[in-house]
Amino acid sequence: MGQSSSSYRSGGYRETRCSALTAYDNYAGSQASGHDTSDFCDPESLVNHLQPGDLVQQKGNYIYQFFYSHYAVYVGNGDVIHIVGSGPAKRGLLVEVFRGTLVRKNNLHDYDLPAKPRPQIVFDARSWLYKHWDYNVAANNCEHFATLCRYGQKISLHFLGLGDVWRGRVGMREYAKSAFNSVYQACSTLFSWGKRSIVEAVTGSLTGAITRVASGGLLRIMG
């Protein structure tokens, strides 16, 4: 399997947005090339910069969704595989699965864990299309699935708690490291999401103002 994804294009949605926001998303998506993590952008700006085996993190467009991330495994040709509940994994086009939300590349444990070879990551993700995943929001969620495919370990920074230390599942040192990483990931997510939201709000306001001025001028001319 090749190391880069096939080019994917989808028309319509991006053509309706202002050029400044599109330019920001294109730049944010391009960060995925050669980096473990990119900034949040629209799905169409990210998909052509991913490689099979990369992890995709999704955030909603609203602040209450900051506290929840959905993870998927990119398997090439514009497709992701992810867990949405108990049962087999689901496969779909990244731009359709995450349409209307913000996404980024986030191979969040590459700095301290060895990733499997990319063909193996894709093979393992595909194997779950035919197996049952027993979903549990705290112990067996979509982040556990993504990290299992990429690193061979089920890891969820959201749900590793002191209870795991008390039950002897992890040591205090591992818990402290995970807690630090969890805070770092949360701050990284909020900062990246905030930048994109500010750009969208500012460009939307400017576009609206320009449209109103132009419409008013046209009405005066016609009047």
Looking at residue 66, its pLDDT comes to 54
DSSP symbol at 37: B
Looking at residue 2, its pLDDT comes to 33
Instruction: Determine the angle formed by the axes of helices 142-151 and 118-127, rounding to 10 degrees.
Output: 140
Q: What angle do CA 206, 209, 213 make, to 5 degrees?
A: 140
- Domains in the chain, please, with CATH? 14-222 (3.90.1720.10)
Q: What is the pLDDT along the chain (223 residues), one digit of tens a residue?
A: 333 333 444 444 444 456 777 888 888 888 788 888 888 889 999 999 999 999 999 985 555 555 578 999 999 999 999 999 999 999 999 999 999 888 999 998 888 889 999 999 999 999 999 999 999 887 888 989 999 999 998 887 666 555 555 555 556 666 666 666 666 666 777 777 777 778 777 776 655 555 444 444 444 444 5
pTM metric for this prediction: 0.74
Query: Which CA distances in Å does 146 have to 20, 51, 53, 126, 198?
Result: 33, 15, 9, 12, 29
Q: How far apart are CA 137 and CA 23, in angstroms?
A: 36
Q: How far apart are CA 149 and CA 126, in angstroms?
A: 9
Name 103's Cβ contacts closer than 8 Å, sequence gap at least 6. 40, 41, 42, 43, 46, 56, 57, 58, 59, 94
